[in-house]
Amino acid sequence: MALHLHHYILLLLTLWTTTTQAEECTTPTHDSCFCARVCSKAGGAQQWMDMTLSRADWNKGWRMGTITYGDRSTCACVVPMPQHTPQNKVEGQCIARCINAGGVWLRGRPRRPPGWRVVTFPHEDLHCPCFVVDELDGEYGIWQEKLRGKNLR
């Protein structure tokens, strides 16, 4: 699979942002340090206010959203995460169930991204497998994706 220039840029940006922020961290409770750790653990990087994803990046699986752990800071992140369009009502119900649980629907057998785990949530007669953010310091994370139309340029 060939990577295009914008994928290299996203990868380099992820590495640079994570490394730079990690070097700047002086206390583990500082918000930017905490968010750098959270986004990095989920396989991505921190997002800044004016950041947008191109349609090509979105189509390749990059997502913008927030990760929250309990009452701590809500962190804006860009993460690599598969997203699927429902093919029928059952798939639509599972997507909704995963979103309500703070995760992403797992369709088929995609590779588990680093920093995420698979949890199956019941929904009526269904059992919906979802990717959810791994624990951090004993707390479960909640992922909320930005709406597709709102974050594409």
pLDDT digits (tens, 9 = 90+) for 38-57: 999 999 988 876 677 888 88
CB 96 within 8 A of CB 105: no
What confidence tens digit (pLDDT) does each residue in 74-96 have? 898 999 887 778 889 988 988 88
Distances (CA, A) of 96 to 16, 85, 136: 34, 12, 24
Cβ-based neighbour number of residue 145 at 10 Å: 15
Query: Would you say the C-alpha torsion 134, 136, 139, 143 has a positive or negative sign?
Result: negative
Least confident interval from 24-33, 71-80, 134-143: 24-33
> What local confidence, expressed as pLDDT, does residue 133 receive?
93
pLDDT, averaged across the chain: 76
Give CA–CA dist 91/139, Å, rounded: 28
**Structure tokens of 6?**
């914008």
Cα angle at 145 between 139 and 151, to 5 degrees?
145
Instruction: Give the pTM.
Output: 0.72
β-partners of residue 139 are 136
